[in-house]
Structure 1
Amino acid sequence: MISKKKQLNFFRSGKPPAGPTTQIRSKIGTSNGTSTYPLQSQTSRELLRENSSESSRRSSGAGIPSSNNVSMTNTRNLSREQSRESNVNTIISSNKISIATINNTNISKIEYDEEKTIGHVHSLIEEYTENYSDNDDRPIHEAIEDVKEFCTTNIDQQALIIRELFTNVLEAKPRARKAIGHLLDIVLHKNIISEEAFLSGFKMVIELVPDFAVDIPLIWQYIGEILGAFIGGPTSNMLLLKPLLNLVPDEKCKQLFQYIIRYAIELSSKSRIQRFWQSSGFSLNDLFKIDSLDSSFINEFNWLSETTSLIKETIIVPHADMPLVRLFKSVSDQGTMVTDTEIITYIETHMNSKDKYYIRNIVLSYLEACLINREPQKKIQEDIAKKRMNILKKIIQHTSNAEIQAVYAIQNFVNKLEHPPKMAQLLFDIFYDEECVSEDAFFEWLKNPDPSETEGHSVVEMSTKDFFTWLEQADTELEGGEEEEES
C-alpha cells in the first residue's frame, strides 16, 4: 500500500522551490601596512597610551580632521571613504598576485594597520557612546557598520579592537560601559568578531589591569559593568562566562562574577538572567574552585539555580534549550558526533514531557541548531535539518497535538528572526517531506489558529501560501486519479 504522502509526491512536479538553504559569506577587510609589533608584547599601560597618542598624531598628519574642527558624523564618513579607497587600492594590487600566492594566504593573518585600527576604534567609541540611547537603535546600527568598515578577519586585529573597546571606557560614564557591552554582544553574534578574538582581546585587558588599577581602583567593577551589559544583552552570552573567568586571577574571579551578575540584572531582569543561567547548565562549581566557595557566596547566588514561582512563569514562554541545541549541532562535527539515542536520552532526562511547551521547546532547539546566522540573511542548514529529523519524529510520534505544536514552533522561530525570505516555506517543506508533520496538522494550524498564538501567524501564512496551494492541488489530482482507476 503506497502512503498518501508518497502518492502526493508523484504529483509534486509543480511545487515552487523553497530557495537556497545555505549562504557563504566572507568578510575580508584590507589595510595598507602591517602590525609594527606583536600584540602579545603590549602589556604596559604606558605603551598602550603611547600607541594611542601616536595613532592620533599620525591620523592627523594623514589628513583626518580632528573632532575640534569637524563633526563626528563627518569624521566617520571621511574614515569610511578612506577605508573604501584603501580597499580599492588593495584589490588592484591583489590582481597582480599569482594564484599560488592567493591560495597560500591565511585569511586569519591578513595584513592590517594597527595604528589606523586604534584610531578607528577611538573615533567610533566617542561618537557611539555619546549618541547611545535605550530608545534609539540608530547609534548601535551605525556603530556596527563602522566596525565592518575597518575590521578584517585577522584574529590579532579583532583582539586589538576588543582591547580598545574595553580600555577606552573604563574611566567613562556608566552609560558608555553599557553601550560597549551592548555593542560587544552584537558584533559577536553577527560574526563580525570571532569568539576566539573576543577572548584573546579580553585576555589582553586582564594583563593590563595591574597597571590601570593604579589610577582606576574600581577597575573590576567597571569591567563587570561592561560584561554585565554583554551577558544581559538581547542574546544569551552566559556560556562565555566560564572561558572569561578562566582568564581572571583566582583571587578576583568571585568579585568580578558578583559585578557581572549585579549589572546584568540591572540592565535586564533577575528572572531573565536566571533563565539564561539555567539554560547554560552551569553550576557555581563549574566556574570556581570548590575550596574558594564559602557559604556566604553560595547563598548569595542560590537563586540562579532555584525554580521559583516567578521563574516558572518565565519558563512558560517557549524557548530553545541551549545544551540541546549543541547536541543537535554536533552532527556537523565529526570529532564530537552525538548519536540520536544520546540526544533522546538527554531529552528524557532533562526535559519534562508534561510541560506545556515540551514539544515546542524541543523543536525550537532543533531549529536553532539548523540556523546559519550570517548577514545579510539567515539560512537553514538543510543537512542538519534532515539528519536530526528522526529525533523529532520519535518524540512527536505522529500525535495530532504534538504535530501542531511543531508548526507553532516554526511560527515562533521565524517570527523571532523577523521572517527571513522563504524560510517558513522551506521548514514546512522539510517537516512535511520527512513525514514529521501531517497535512492535517498544517491545515489545522492554517484554518483554526490559536487565539493566543496570533503573533507572526498572518505573516507566516502569507509566506507559505504556495505550500498550501500545492497541497490542495495535489489532493485534487490524487482524488481525480483514484476516480479514474475506479472507473
Structure 2
Amino acid sequence: MGREKNDKPLPSATARPNTFMRGSSSKDLLDNQSQEEQRREMLETVKQLTGGMDVDRNSTEADRNKTRESVAKQEIPSTSAPDKPALSEEEMERKSKSIIDEFLHINDFKEAMQCVEELSAQGLLHVFVRVGVESTLERSQITRDHMGQLLERLVQSEKLSKQDFFKGFSETLELADDMAIDIPHIWLYLAELVTPVLKEGGISMRELIIEFSKPLLPVGRAGVLLSEILHLLCKQMSHKKVGALWREADLSWKDFLPEGEDVHNFLLEQKLDFIESDSSCSSEALSKKELSADELYKRLEKLIIEDKANDEQIFDWVEANLDESQMSSPTFLRALMTAVCKAAIIADCSTFRLDTAVIKQRVPILLKYLDSDTEKELQALYALQASIVKLDQPANLLRMFFDCLYDEEVISEDAFYKWESSKDPAEQNGKGVALKSVTAFFTWLREAEEESEDN
C-alpha cells in the first residue's frame, strides 16, 4: 500500500487473480495477456536505457528527500523560540517599580542599567521614566539625586532615548501646577531629578528647557522651573559658568515668562541677575596670579571656616582666582581637602571626632574638583593623611573620615586601594600608623566587594 508503481514486483499472468474473472471470454484472456506482455517489454526497455536499479534508487531517494523536506518543515516552528508577549503598560509599571525600588536600596547603577536594557525591547521606556519620577518626587534629596544620575547614565549610554526621557516627564509636568498645592517644592524636586542630564554628553540645556517648557507655558510656570534648574547648577559650578551655559543655549527669558512680566524684575526676585551679565558676580575679583600652597590654603580656610561661604561663593572665588590648570593641580586639591577636613574636625578636650554634617555639606565642592578622577582623589587622601598626622593620629579619626568619604561617594574604592598600596617616599610620614588605624575599613571593603561579586 502506498508504494509507487515502480516499487511493485513485476506481475505474472498466473499470479494475478483479477486478470481472469468469471464470465470473461477466451478473447478477453488473450487480450489481457497481450497487454501484460507489452507492459513488461516497455519496462525492460526503460531499465535498459536508465538502469533498472537507478529507477528504483532514484524513486526511493526522491521519497526520502520528500520525507526530509516534510520533517524539516515540521521542525522549523518548534526550533524557533516563540516571541515574548508584549508587556501591557500596567505590567511595565510593575517591573519598573521593582527595578527602581531595588536600585534605590542598593545603588547598583550597573545592574539597574542592565535591567532597563532588557525592558527596552518593549518600547515602553517612557513608563520607566514616569515611574522613576513619581516614585522619588516626595522622597529625600539623595534619592532624587540617585534617580537623576541613573537617568543621566541611561541617556548618555543611549539605552534611554531623549524622546522617552521627555515623554516620561511630560505627564508629571502637565499636572505639576495642580500638584504644587500639596507639594509646594515640586519645582525644586523636579529640577533635582533633571539637572544631572545636563552634564556633558547628556541633553543640551536648550533642548531640555524647550521640551520641558511646552506643558508649563500655558500655566505660566516654565520660568519657575527654569530658575530652580539654574540655581542647582550654581551649586555645581560658578555663576560665570552657568551664565555662559545660558548664553550658549541662545534662549530668551521672555519666551518662558507669562506675557507682560518684566524679565529684569523676575531675575532680581529669583537672584538670577548674574545671567544678564557677562562678568562673574564674584566678591573678590583678584588677578589670577599663581598662589603658593600656603596662600591658597589660607584663602580657602578663610572662605570655608571663617566666612562659612556657601558652595556658590566658593565656586565663584575659585573661578575668579584660578585658571583651569590651577584648579586641577595637586596644590589646590590638597589645600581644598585640608580646609574641608579642618572644618569637619571637632576637638573635645584631648579627643577628636568628625562632624559628618560638614563633610556632607561640602560634598558638591569635593565632587566638582575631584571630578571622579582616581589620581585627584589620591591627592585628597594624601592631604587627609597629613592632616591626621599633624594631630598625632587621634584614635579612629582617619577611619571615621574614610567611612564618611566612602558613604558619600567622594572617594572611590580604586583611590582607597591606591592609597593603601602607595610607596611614594614623599607620603610615608605616618603612613604605617595610618594604615593600621584603617585595617578594619579595608577588611570590610574587600569583604563587601567579594560579596557583591558572589551575588
Q: Greater relative contact order: 1 or 2 (C-alpha under 8 angstroms, separation 6 or more)?
A: 1
What is the TM-score with the length of structure 2 in the denominator?
Answer: 0.39
Name which one, 1 or 2, has greater alpha-carbon Rg: 2
